[in-house]
């Protein structure tokens, strides 16, 4: 664990082996704050990045993220492109850290729709 943990848990807390997340609400959060959907997606990306780091530090074995549903493709092409750009950055950032720490990335789903 790092010298400055992201999350501090009460003594005796059991850490789950697997956490599954369905990120939702980036656009609603952004609208409520007066921001663009892109700003909401960026905030969601930063939150996921922090969560992934904290999960590793706490010893969570598996972190599963639901990334993008088929319904999301019906959004505007600009929003979809922005989300795919963030996904590309998230995967690149994750892979850099994963290689250092021996973490693996497994993609489940249509690879033909992943950003190149």
Give the residue numbers annotated as catalytic, written as ranges.
Answer: 24
Q: Which long-range contacts (CB under 8 A, 24 or more apart) does 5-13 make?
A: 5/54, 5/57, 5/58, 6/50, 6/53, 6/54, 6/57, 7/54, 7/57, 7/58, 9/58
Nearest to 65 by CA among 4, 107, 5: 107
Structure tokens at 59: 């010893």
Question: Count of residues for the chain?
Answer: 116
């Amino acid at each position: 664990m790092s010298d400055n943990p992201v999350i501090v848990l009460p003594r005796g807390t059991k850490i789950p082996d697997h956490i599954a997340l369905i990120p939702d609400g980036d656009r609603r959060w952004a609208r409520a704050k007066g921001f663009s959907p892109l700003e909401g997606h960026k905030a969601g990306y930063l939150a996921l990045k922090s969560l992934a780091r904290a999960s590793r530090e706490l010893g969570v074995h598996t972190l599963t993220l639901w990334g993008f549903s088929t319904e999301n493709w019906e959004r505007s092409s600009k929003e979809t492109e922005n989300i795919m750009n963030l996904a590309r950055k998230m995967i690149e950032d994750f892979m850099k850290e994963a290689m250092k720490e021996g973490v693996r990335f497994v993609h489940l789903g249509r690879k033909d729709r992943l950003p190149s």
